[in-house]
């Protein structure tokens, strides 16, 4: 879901650069093996003055990719890069990474007419909510760099395949899950910002119109002036919707909880102690529902709005990916193993 937002930001930037006569190159992770900071589809935009947006690693590859991308901008010739480290090789092309994995990155001109045409298509689809694919020829005797948008992706996953003797990378972009934050108080600002950065499409809802100022929640997708009794038909809630209830009013929180439990929402986090949520459930005639997480957030020893927001977003990600939270050092398999 992070890729949806990242792709949108890059596509917008490319359009701005092209309109002013600037040039840029786009680097995309197409394949990983072993340990890697980013998944296939991660992107880095390199502008003609060296400035960048996005990322293809944890910072260890960006400088090398940037240098190659500047050459791609000048020559107009795409390149497929391979960075590799094995158990006995702790340097990657002299970069000294020691990550014990391999990464393939495709670098292509981003502001040439054929790429701009495809990015226009991509921008239109990113305004919607349907999954789609982006297929790019990354290696072969012809048409390297040719890209097209694929609409009929079903439940397909991002992949590399050989078609007519050419290597094609297809990235599947799924629309980000919706997060509804009920309560636009000051402590919601960090939650909305962090959740948006993580890739959620965030809607902030409050019955107090003055709290819904755009400059308070610049990263929110929607700001909605609404009370819970009128919300069920106004918020387009489905099974990919998550919600956090934090109005700081027992009555309003209870009414929001009641409304959400009549929908297909997959998660409802409620701020406050467990006993408070239990009382709400009792008053609305509901038993403990597995979708209700109260107190909201992971146990991180958080203190203050920013730290609490981190614990909540961490819990949202764990629920969404069906992961049992724990220390990565205790995980027996690769970090990005499915």
Give the tens place of pLDDT for each residue, 101-155.
789 999 999 999 999 999 999 999 998 888 999 999 999 999 999 999 998 787 7
Q: Mean pLDDT, to the nearest integer, of 78-95?
A: 65
pLDDT: is 176 or 84 the higher one? 176
pLDDT: is 203 or 337 the higher one? 203
Q: Looking at the structure, do residues 197 and 313 belong to the same domain, yes or no?
A: yes
φ and ψ at residue 129, rounded to 5 degrees: -130, 15
Position 38 scores a pLDDT of: 84
Residue 334 — very low, low, confident or very high, per pLDDT cuts 50/70/90? low
Q: Beta strands of the chain (E only): which ranges?
A: 24-34, 43-47, 52-54, 79-84, 101-109, 132-139, 147-150, 159-163, 166-173, 178-182, 201-206, 222-225, 241-245, 267-270, 292-293
Position 126 scores a pLDDT of: 93
Give the tens place of pLDDT for each residue, 35-69.
677 889 999 999 999 999 999 988 889 999 999 99
What percent of the chain is predicted at pLDDT more than 90? 78
pLDDT: is 89 or 45 the higher one? 45
- Count of structural domains within the chain: 2
Q: Looking at the structure, do residues 114 and 185 belong to the same domain, yes or no?
A: no
Query: Taking all residues of the chain, what is their mean pLDDT, rounded to a whole number?
Result: 91
Q: Looking at the structure, do residues 102 and 210 belong to the same domain, yes or no?
A: no
Position 336 scores a pLDDT of: 57
Structural domain includes residue 299? yes
Q: Mean pLDDT, to the nearest integer, of 316-338?
A: 80
Q: Looking at the structure, do residues 317 and 188 belong to the same domain, yes or no?
A: yes
State the CB neighbour count (10 A cutoff) for residue 147.
22
Q: Looking at the structure, do residues 59 and 120 belong to the same domain, yes or no?
A: yes
Structural domain includes residue 158? no
Residue numbers of the domain that contains 249? 178-321
Give the tens place of pLDDT for each residue, 173-188.
999 999 999 999 999 9
Residue 293: C-alpha distances to residues 45, 202, 213, 214, 325 (Å):
38, 18, 28, 28, 14
Q: Looking at the structure, do residues 206 and 312 belong to the same domain, yes or no?
A: yes
């Amino acid at each position: 879901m992070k890729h949806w937002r990242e792709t949108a930001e890059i596509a917008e930037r490319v359009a701005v650069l092209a309109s002013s006569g600037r040039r840029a190159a786009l680097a995309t992770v197409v394949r990983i093996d072993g340990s890697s900071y980013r998944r296939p589809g991660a992107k880095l935009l390199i502008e003609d003055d060296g400035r960048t947006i996005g990322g293809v690693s944890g910072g260890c590859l960006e400088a090398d990719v940037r240098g190659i991308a500047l050459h791609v901008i000048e020559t107009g010739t795409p390149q497929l890069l391979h960075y590799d480290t094995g158990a006995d090789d702790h340097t990657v092309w002299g970069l000294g990474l020691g990550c014990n994995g391999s990464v393939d990155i495709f670098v292509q001109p981003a502001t040439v007419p054929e790429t701009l045409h495809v990015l226009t298509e991509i921008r239109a689809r990113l305004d919607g909510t349907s999954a789609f694919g982006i297929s790019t020829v990354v290696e072969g005797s012809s048409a390297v760099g040719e890209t097209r948008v694929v609409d009929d992706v079903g439940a397909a996953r991002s992949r590399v395949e050989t078609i007519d003797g050419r290597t094609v990378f297809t990235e599947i972009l799924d629309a980000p899950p919706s997060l509804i934050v009920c309560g636009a108080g000051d402590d919601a600002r960090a939650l909305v910002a962090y959740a948006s950065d993580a890739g959620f499409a965030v809607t902030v809802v409050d019955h107090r119109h003055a709290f819904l100022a755009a400059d308070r929640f610049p990263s929110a997708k929607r700001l909605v002036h609404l009370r819970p009794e009128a919300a069920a038909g106004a918020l387009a809630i489905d099974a990919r919707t998550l919600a956090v209830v934090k109005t700081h009013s027992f009555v309003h929180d209870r009414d929001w909880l009641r409304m959400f439990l009549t929908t297909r929402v997959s998660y409802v986090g409620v701020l406050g102690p467990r006993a408070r949520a239990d009382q709400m459930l009792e008053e609305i005639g509901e038993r403990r529902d597995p979708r209700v997480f109260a107190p909201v957030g992971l146990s991180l020893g958080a203190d203050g709005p920013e730290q609490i927001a981190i614990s909540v977003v961490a819990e949202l990600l764990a629920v969404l990916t069906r992961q049992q939270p724990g220390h990565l050092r205790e995980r027996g398999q690769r970090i990005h193993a499915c």
